[in-house]
Structure 1
Amino acid sequence: MKTALVGDIGGTNARFALWRDQRIDSVRVLPTQEYPRPEDAIRAYLKGVGQEVEDLEAVCLACAGPVSGDEFVFTNNHWRLSRQAFCKELGLSELLLINDFSAMALGMTRLRAGELVDICPGQSAPGRARLVIGPGTGLGVATLVPLADGRWQALPGEGGHVCLPIGSRREAALWERLHAKLGHVNAEAVLSGGGLLELYRTSCSLDDKAATLTTPAEITAAALNGDAYAKSVLEQFCVWLGRIAGDNVLTTGAQGGVYIAGGIVPRFVEFFARSGFAQSFRDKGGMSRYFDKVPVWVVTAEYPGLEGAGVALQSLLEGAPGGQ
């Protein structure tokens, strides 16, 4: 193989790296809005790292949304691609498209020491699935399943679009206002960057309070700096994430553990560890004991999606199973 490239493409940024000797190299992050198409961003990336387009042989792109067929429309950005046209333009012999959180899940198999923070103590049940969930531009969810040969397979899904659960009167009141504005209220409506801002604005509306903060970063910063109202909103965010993560554990049987990934929670790990996440995570009535030994970690690795895309590409080249 001459050159293999992996990409982790979100709503705001596209992360690219070369895949060499089963590891990522020459990582660059490019804003998606600055490029009309993914092909243009890849050309710019290759030029920036001194690689010729003609040397490119295999590519794996981790993309938000369900992956099937020739045409793929990216979630949360303006890009789209045709597999056939993409390969023809770039002269590729291999193009693998996988769900972004399948790649994130496979990236959990490449974590190094110091890249996990314990949130809920526990012990991974042998042979059981693990859940990977993370708020970012959207809410990603995937399941990591152990295989008999020691490898792992990532099962893609769209768990971020399940219905937002209600566990208290205040949550019911918030949901009612969200429903009046959005119609269907999915988990991503509050458990994402834009969702945190939506949750703040809806909370302010419910409490007849002026909404003075205008970005997710401002809300997080205000909460960490002691603003009582911002803290209450961020607390509700953590509680709702616990409810959704717990629901997914029950659905998938993921007693192997839960990885909290994505770009948001690692920014306030200490707050998250003290929040109501753990209580809401296991608040399942008669099934609460199911969570007694389920460990939960926050992932602080810098590029787990790229690592996972590399794992998937390596599996394809070796003819082994992986995520899609």
Structure 2
Amino acid sequence: MANLVDFAIVADIGGTNARFSRVKMADLTLDKVAVYPCATFASLADALQHYQQQQQLTMLKHVAIAIACPVTGDDVSMTNFHWQFSISAMQRQLGLSRLLVMNDFTAVAMSLPALTASDKVQLGQGSSQPDKPMAVLGAGTGLGVAHLIKVDGKFVPLPGEGGHVDWAAQTEQEWFIQQMLSKEYGHVSPERLLSGPGLEAIYRALALYRRLDVAPLSAGEIGQQALAGTSELASATVAQFFASLGSVAGDLALTLSTFGGVYVAGGIAPKLLPLLEASEFRTRFEAKGRFSAFNRQIATYIVTAPQPGLLGAAVYLKQSLAS
């Protein structure tokens, strides 16, 4: 069926903020972008209706939503926020012709082929092969993970919950962090470190490890102090964060032989890009024993595009309408 839709609405719903945009389907141009705190609204339907009314877009009846939780059926329940809904019921409630709902990192994965050279920064060596599998991970409120493959000329996202597998400590410092987090949570996953709350947890753990009496800091404060070079503990925290991020990214590369590249998205890495470039990220990405040479061939990128989730939701919708 030909794509006869001129404009649609796309959304990227995280644990903290809800982002909405109008998209021009012909060239995937995004405009009328609005960001609202999720806590402002009782439900996702309320937030979407508010956006439509505020931007005078009530006539648009095609919507694609990326959301930070598993999407395995009609019922959706967010992992790090209280919104839950039925996709079919919300479509009827809002009178939509089409409502696509996908995991947020399904959308980020779908954005990868549409990224321009100015939307990403390469770290280290390696090259990417366009038709080979790709991986994306991103730290924000949580840790999102997905892969992307190309089948019969179409991109197929492979969403998953890779942020909740087992995290493996590799140094004495990391063993200390793991023991502390194990006492707090039981199971220690990569998300317990590679997220905003994870950055705060690393800071607390390193303070204990170094026997320092310091007040807890927010993730934003840790990042600011590390960038400014005003706190050695904050700098060490960010260094540990990126070392662990490199290890997990390298695991994803091995899991699906991602010669299309491994991409780091999310809200944290792009903001700390100057520190990331000088970190152990790429060293740990490649440090895979007998398969170090394998990972050395694979390119790693930081996604600097402002709204990859919105872009990916638009790509997914366009591909769906064209099929």
Q: What range describes the TM-score normalised by the shorter chain of this pair? A: over 0.9
Q: Which of 250, 257, 261 lines up with 1:253 in the alignment?
A: 257
Structure 1: distance between partners of 2:245 and 2:6: 43
1:2–1:56 contact (8 Å) kept in structure 2: no
Query: Which aligned pairs between 1:1-324 and structure 2 lie closer than 5 A?
Result: 1=5, 4-22=8-26, 23=28, 24-52=30-58, 55-125=59-129, 127-149=131-153, 151-226=154-229, 227-319=231-323
Stretches of structure 1 that go unaligned for 5 or more consecutive residues are 320-324
Q: Aligned-pair distance for 1:113?
A: 3.2
- 3-state secondary structure, aligned to 1:77: coil
- Give, in angstroms, the shift of residue 29 of structure 1: 0.8
Residue 41 of structure 1 aligns with an amino acid whose one-letter code is A
Distance 1:205 1:135, change over 3 A: same
CA–CA distance in structure 2, aligned partners of residues 46 and 93 of structure 1: 15
| Count of aligned pairs between the two proteins | 316
User: 3-state SS of the aligned residue for 1:140?
Assistant: strand
Q: CA RMSD in A?
A: 1.4
The amino acid of 1:118's aligned partner reads: Q
Secondary structure class of the residue paired with 2:80? coil
1:126 shift after superposition = 5.7
- Gapped regions of structure 2 (runs ≥ 5): none
Q: Does the 8 Å CA contact 2:139/2:265 hold for their aligned counterparts? A: yes
Q: TM-score, normalised by structure 1?
A: 0.94
Q: Over residues 157-212 of structure 1, what are the superposed CA-to-partner deviations in whole Å (9 max), with x where a residue is unaligned?
A: 11111111111121112101110111000000010011100111122122221232
CA distances 1:104-149 after superposition (whole Å, capped 9, x unpaired): 0111122123111111221124642111111111101111112342
Q: Which runs of 4+ in 1 moved over 6 A?
A: none
Q: In structure 2, do the counterparts of structure 1 residues 95 and 274 end up closer, same or farther at CA, with 3 Å as the change threshold? A: same
- 1:322 aligns with none
TM-score normalised per structure 2? 0.94
Instruction: Give the share of equivalent positions with the same residue, in percent.
Output: 38
- Is the 1:213–1:219 contact (alpha carbons within 8 Å) kept by the matching residues of 2? no
Task: Tell me, yes or no, if the aligned pair for 1:56 and 1:90 is still in contact at 8 Å.
Answer: no
CA-CA distance at 1:213 after TM superposition: 4.2
Contact 1:56 1:91 in 2 (8 A): no
What amino acid sits opposite 2:158 in the alignment? L
8 Å CA contact retained: 1:3, 1:57:
no
Deviation at 1:77, TM superposition (A): 1.3
Residue 219 of structure 2 aligns with an amino acid whose one-letter code is P
2-side partners of 1:246 and 1:220: how far apart? 24
Taking a change above 3 Å as real, the CA distance of residues 260 and 205 of structure 1, as seen in their structure-2 partners, is same
AA matched with 2:64:
C
